[in-house]
Chain A
Amino acid sequence: MLRRRPLLPHWLLIAACLSLLLLLISCTPSHPQSTFDAAGPVSRSQLNLFWVIFWASLGVFVVVVGALLYSVVRFREKPGQAMPTQVHGNRKLEIAWTVAPALLLGAIAVMTVQTLFELEDPPSDNPLQVRVVAHQWWFEAIYPEYNVTTANEINVPVGRDVSFTLDSEDVIHSFWVPKLSGKMDVIPNVTNATWFRADEAGVFYGQCAEFCGVAHALMKFRVVAQPPEEFEQWLAAQQAPARTPTEGAALAGQTVFSAKGCIVCHTVTGPDTEALRASRNRGFLDGQPLTHGPNLTHFASRGSFAGSIMETDDENLAAWLRDPEQVKPGNRMSRLAAAFNDPALELSESDISALVAYLQSLE
């Protein structure tokens, strides 16, 4: 009996792991990025495949670790035992345990290849086209068919395939909305494509999944899936010309926005042209205090900002403008914008409240 003791925790541990697993599946806190709650066909077939391989692995685990534990317990050294027979091998057994895993893997391989080809292209022939451009550290979304540019929040219609083209203007990022689809990397000089479909309305969390520099952890985004009619309304609102304030704090904010050099990086007059985009990017690569910032034309229509790490409200906005470095360490705006580096252009509290009013007016 003494010999047996060290083995107990082994069993306990496996039991514990399994029950923890059940715990995880049954009663978890809310997980906005859980891959277990698939909300579209792409993530669903990925999840189904995961379950297949998970149960297969669990089976292999139980059998093999079972055999391991059995051999350890059954053949533990007993006092006064004679030397065991010196067995050197067994051809038949060895063939068996080569073939058996190979067969199992063969089955998994077939499913893998099938799913790979199935998920390659969207099934419908007129998916919504969205071009996603990744930046350190935020995502930009462009709807080429509608001439709409937005940032951090990507609106899509429920039930329609959405086809994405992915470009990066700096380093490698990865586009990932766990509940809707697995990752696709966003690579400079390589244009990747991916697609998904949302089967229910809701806000789905996404996050950049490839380490892309200091603020990688804060490079999130959201997919807002809306019923088709709502989506059409949203598109129409985005296509509307920019609002220009006529009075009060918002008007003052508009002046501040130009005076403090915000317009160097942010466009507020409609979608960015390719030429403007290119010149900003070239400026950045040449080391100028310039970079491509989120398009703010309809800023107030978005629920979150700065890589979707903050909800859009007056307080958060003021905090962001007061000290962006504090909110999102390393971000390009606090490192490059004159307003945060040149004491002459520093924002006063009244500037900030004017800017907040202005930005919040940009419905």
Chain B
Amino acid sequence: MATANQMLGGVLAKRPVSATGVMSWITTIDHKRIGILYGVTAFIFFILGGVEALLMRLQLSSPEAGVVSAEVYSQMFTMHGTTMIFLVVMPMGAAFFNFMIPLMIGARDVAFPRLNAFSYWTFLFGAILLNVSFLTGGAPNVGWFGYSPLTNDTFAIGRGVDYWILGLQVLGISSLAAAFNFIVTIINMRAPGMSMMKLPVFVWMTLIVSFLLVLAFPVLTVAITLLLFDRLFGTAFFDTGAGANPLIWQHFFWAFGHPEVYILILPAMGIVSEVLPVFSKKPLFGYTVVVFSGVLIGLMGWGVWSHHMFTVGLGPVANSAFALITMFIAVPTGIKIFNWIGTMWGGSVKFTTAMLFAIGFIAMFIIGGLSGVMHAVAPSDTQQSDTYFVVAHLHYVLFGGSILGLFAGIYYWWPKITGRLLNELMGKAQFWLFFIGFNVTFFPMHFLGMDGMPRRVYTYSADQGWEFWNAFSTVGVFLIGISLILFIHNVIHTNRKGERAGNDPWNGRTLEWSIPSPPPEYNFAVIPTVKDRDAYWAEKYSEDPDGRPIPKVQGAAQAEEKPVKIHMPTPSYYPVLLAAGLTLIAGGLLSHISVSVIGGIVSLAAIYSWAFEPATAPESTPSDGAY
């Protein structure tokens, strides 16, 4: 019998073969290429979300300005928040998970390379679906947490909210698939000898984030599904006319939403935990505690959601409980901060751009964390909730935290990813512009909030005394904008003329630095065997009795590049096809049901073909016509 591989694998198309060109990127299942795709896409959305923010800031720069209308302003903050969270920080994290995790644990790929490609394409298509709403008459305009009943079809007429729901639905599939993949990869594909307590901290944080994703996203999925049913099929879940309690939406959203904010910060914390030791030439202080505090943050994050609901009238008992759990999250978070300082203490701190971003991260995150604790004090939070004080808090943790941390990662791992170093001088200039611009933009928002400026207002009157700080804040955006232009210039410039990095430009400690930059397709010619926590460092140095490192003589063990033929998973069409099918199903609900039907057929075909397609094509021989 002709093998089913041939029958089914070949039903839709021949197996893709090209190694270069656009097609090779579309069909790639190489975790490194997927990582790059994630990163580039996320950066483009960062600019988009930033331009949305810029429009808002211009509108707010003076009282009663007329840059955008009330309606457009509502769309701007909704899309800005949604974009920054779901299309920038999460995928930027995913970019690093993809590129670095297999390298850091000594694996040749992730556990499910095709599922990985599928995650990327669903992310991209979901993001496009969400943004198409701009072109088809009305982006979502209900805020990033879309409180019911404002999202009901009575109040949110038009299609914006449907786009928002279906876009998030598709993005949710992407995040879940990626999370499954990374859990299996990290648990199952560690190099021999790499026990869990020898994992680099970034890998640990990725694992925690993945668990949070697996458990948090279904809650959002259910919430938006119920809302979708309300809008499409006339169910009564959030129909206040039928007796529904709109607070149920809030409980669902924040039961997802708060774990989500730790999903956004833990990758950055992981990155910083890698960068600080390398540029202090010391191991991470208190590795075990840093890891367990991460686990604890992940666990406690499930018990605090109602701190977003201090003003909905839950009563003093519930408010006390949520206030207390929220405050005490400062303890495990503090542990991390102190251990980072402990890492630099007594070290030899080198101010590379990556290090500057990492230090900036710590300082800014402390500010954001402390304003978080102020929010946790429920009675006084009733004055700050829904004001610019919250906007300040969330940007200090998300921009000062996540984004600075991710930029530290970009500068740190850029040479590994591209083989060339980014220009340090430009990098430092970018950091300072970024850092100052960030503070100019967001610090005054604390004052505005305390002076009573509510968030999500498209205009304010001159008698409120808010114009000075608003104008001041808008200036900061331009500094951030210029610094980003500088970054883009740096990337383009060094891409052509940048200094070659070599395997290990920073004297790194983890396994990714032991292989060439950029890494070959198979990552490791020989899968390393791990004996110590900082596996690569231990290969390079031993310690004298005082604990000072002594370089080891690089012996004959360095028998690099065995010319064995390493059999890597083969590219595939089906991940992108399935992603397209699922997106069509969602798109059909917005346009015409026949589109959904086509989507369903495409998806089914893709699933079956995928299932019967071997992950790795058998060695193709000329006689084997099917491939």
Asked if A and B form a direct contact in the complex, defined as CB atoms under 8 angstroms apart, the reply is: yes
Instruction: Show the binding face of A for B, using Cβ within 8 Å.
Output: 3, 6, 9-10, 13, 17, 20-21, 24, 28-36, 43, 45-47, 49-50, 53-54, 57, 60-61, 64-65, 67-68, 71-72, 75-78, 81-90, 93-94, 97-98, 101-102, 105, 108-109, 111-113, 115-117, 119-120, 136, 170-172, 174, 176, 178, 181-185, 187-190, 192-193, 205, 207-218, 285, 309, 329-330
Chain B: CB-nearest residue to A104: B330
Q: Using a CB-CB cutoff of 8 Å, which residues 352-368 of chain B contact chain A? A: 356, 359, 362-363, 366-367
Q: Which one of B99-107, B186-194, B446-454, B593-601 contacts A?
A: B446-454
Q: Closest 7 A-B residue pairs measured CB to CB?
A: A182-B382, A33-B452, A217-B457, A192-B313, A29-B465, A89-B286, A57-B370
- Asked whether B132 is an interface residue with its Cβ less than 8 Å from the other chain, the reply is no
Residue of A nearest to B154 (CB): A285
The complex places the Cα of A318 from the Cα of B382 at a distance, in Å, of: 38
Query: Does chain A have a CB within 8 A of B344?
Result: yes
Q: How far is the CB of A200 from chain B (nearest CB, A)?
A: 18
**With a CB–CB cut-off of 8 A, which chain A residues contact B459?**
217-218
Q: Could you tell me the distance between the alpha carbons of A159 and B316 in the complex, rounded to whole angstroms? A: 25
**A72: which B residues are within 8 A, CB to CB?**
344, 349, 359
Known: A24-B447, A90-B342. A210 touches B548 (CB 8 A): no
Task: Report whether B546 and A85 are in contact in the complex, using a CB–CB cutoff of 8 Å.
Answer: yes
Q: Write 18 A-B pairs (CB below 8 A) sorted by A numbering.
A: A46-B379, A57-B374, A64-B337, A68-B341, A72-B349, A77-B348, A84-B280, A84-B282, A84-B346, A88-B287, A108-B327, A108-B373, A109-B323, A189-B244, A190-B312, A211-B143, A214-B70, A285-B241
Taking a contact as CB atoms under 8 Å apart, the answer to whether B327 and A207 are in contact is no
Is the C-beta of B547 less than 8 angstroms from some C-beta in chain A?
yes
Give the distance to chain A from B150, nearest Cβ to Cβ, in Å: 4
Known pairs A35-B383, A89-B289 / 8 extra A-B pairs, C-beta < 8 Å: A49-B380, A53-B377, A67-B341, A105-B327, A112-B320, A182-B379, A209-B454, A217-B459
* Contact of A188 with B334 in the complex, beta carbons under 8 Å: no
Please state if A77 and B454 are interface contacts (CB–CB under 8 Å): no
Bound form: Cα–Cα A115–B378 in Å: 9
A329 to B334, CA, bound (A): 47
User: Most B CB atoms within 10 A — which of A31, A43, A61, A285?
Assistant: A31
User: Is B607 positioned at the interface, with any CB of A under 8 Å from its CB?
Assistant: no
| Chain A neighbourhood of B367, CB < 8 A | 61
* B463 to A, closest residue via Cβ: A32
Residues of A within 8 A of B226 (CB): none
Please measure, in the bound complex, the distance between the C-alpha atom of A209 and the C-alpha atom of B456, giving whole angstroms. 9
Task: Determine whether the beta carbon of A94 is less than 8 Å from that of B330.
Answer: no
In the complex, what distance in Å separates the CA atom of A9 from the CA atom of B247?
46
Q: If A49-B377, A90-B342, A189-B245 touch, does A28 touch B451 (CB 8 Å cutoff)?
A: yes
Q: Which residues of A contact B374 (CB under 8 A)?
A: 50, 53-54, 57
Q: Give the docked Cα–Cα distance between A98 and B344 (Å).
A: 19
In whole Å, how far is A216's beta carbon from the nearest beta carbon of chain B?
6
Which A residues are CB-close (under 8 A) to B443?
17, 20
Q: Contacts A45-B379, A57-B374, A183-B311: A189 and B243 contacting too (C-beta < 8 A)?
A: yes
The answer for the CA separation of A1 and B491 in the assembled complex, in Å, is 30
**Min CB distance, B332 to chain A, in Å?**
8
Q: Establish whether residues A117 and B316, one from each chain, have CB atoms under 8 Å apart when the complex forms.
A: yes
Q: Once bound together, how far apart are the Cα atoms of A178 and B345, in whole Å?
A: 45
> In the complex the two chains form, is A171's CB within 8 Å of B331's CB?
no
Query: Which residue of the partner chain B has the closest CB to A43?
Result: B383
A-B contact count (CB 8 A): 313
Identify B386's interface contact among A53, A98, A174, CB under 8 A: A174
Residues of B near A108 (CB, < 8 A) are 327, 373, 377
Contact A31 B344 (CB under 8 A): no
**Are A97 and B451 closer than 8 Å at their CB atoms?**
no
Least distance between B134 CB and chain A CB atoms (Å)? 17
A329 near B351: Cβ-Cβ < 8 Å:
no
Task: With A13-B436, A89-B288, A193-B313 as known contacts, state yes or no: A75 contacts B351, CB within 8 Å.
Answer: no
CB neighbours (8 Å) of B468 from chain A are 29
Contact between chains at A188 and B549 (CB < 8 Å): no
Chain B residue with Cβ nearest A206: B452
**Cβ B71 vs Cβ A329 within 8 A:** yes
| Cross-chain contact A183 with B383 (CB below 8 angstroms) | yes
Q: CB < 8 Å: which of A36, A53, A77, A101 contacts B349? A: A77
- For residue A47, which residues in chain B have a CB less than 8 angstroms away from its CB? 380, 383
Task: Give Cα A120 to B379, complex, Å.
Answer: 10
Contacts A68-B363, A217-B458 hold; do A50 and B383 have CB atoms under 8 A apart?
yes
Q: How far is the CB of A299 from chain B (nearest CB, A)?
A: 22
CB neighbours of A82 from chain B (8 A): 548
How many angstroms from the CA of A81 to the CA of B543 in the assembled complex? Answer: 17
How near does chain A come to B274, taking the closest CB pair, in angstroms? 16
Which of chain B's residues has its CB closest to A38's CB? B383
* Docked pose: A218 CA to B70 CA in angstroms: 10
Contact between A112 and B378 (Cβ–Cβ < 8 Å)?
yes
With an 8 A cutoff between CB atoms, is B618 at the interface? no
Tell me if B518 is interfacial: C-beta within 8 Å of chain A.
no
Q: Which B residues, 268 to 312, have Cβ-Cβ distances below 8 Å to chain A?
A: 280-283, 285-289, 311-312
Answer yes or no: B83 CB below 8 A from chain A CBs: no
Chain A nearest CB from B314 CB (Å) reads: 10
Residue B150 contacts which of A36, A183, A184, A213 (CB distance < 8 angstroms)?
Answer: A213
Q: Which of A64, A85, A174 has a CB less than 8 Å from the CB of B366? A: A64
B135-169 contacts to A (CB < 8 Å)? 141-143, 147, 149-150, 154-155
Q: Is B69 an interface residue (CB 8 A)?
A: yes
Cβ of B8 within 8 Å of any chain A Cβ, yes or no, is: no
- How far, in angstroms, from A108 to B377 measured CA to CA in the complex? 8
Please indicate the chain A residues that have their CB under 8 angstroms from the CB of B150 in the complex.
171-172, 211-213
Docked-complex contact B143 and A116, CB < 8 angstroms: no
Q: Which of B323, B331, B460 contacts A113 (CB 8 A)?
A: B323
A85 to B454, CA, bound (A): 51
* Contact pattern, B 417-445, Cβ under 8 Å of A = 1, otherwise 0: 00000000000100010011001000110
What is the bound-complex CA distance between A342 and B280, given in angstroms? 74
Structural contact, B147 and A116, CB atoms closer than 8 A: no
Asked if B14 lies at the interface with its beta carbon under 8 angstroms from chain A, I say: no
Give chain B nearest CB distance to A145 CB in angstroms: 23
Chain A residues closer than 8 Å to B350, beta-carbon distance: 76-77
Instruction: Tell me whether B62 is interfacial, beta carbon within 8 Å.
Output: no
| Complex: chain A residue closest to B443, CB-CB | A17
A35 with B457: CB separation less than 8 A: no
A219 to B77, CA, bound (A): 18
Partner of A33 from the list B323, B346, B363, B451 (CB cut-off 8 Å) is B451
**B residues within 8 A CB of A217?**
70, 454, 456-460
Min CB distance B459 to A, Å, is: 5
Which residues of chain B from 365 to 407 have any CB-CB distance to chain A below 8 Å in the complex?
366-367, 370-371, 373-374, 376-387
Which residues of A have CB within 8 Å of B458? 217
Q: Out of B69, B289, B339, B379, name the residue touching A112 (CB < 8 Å).
A: B379
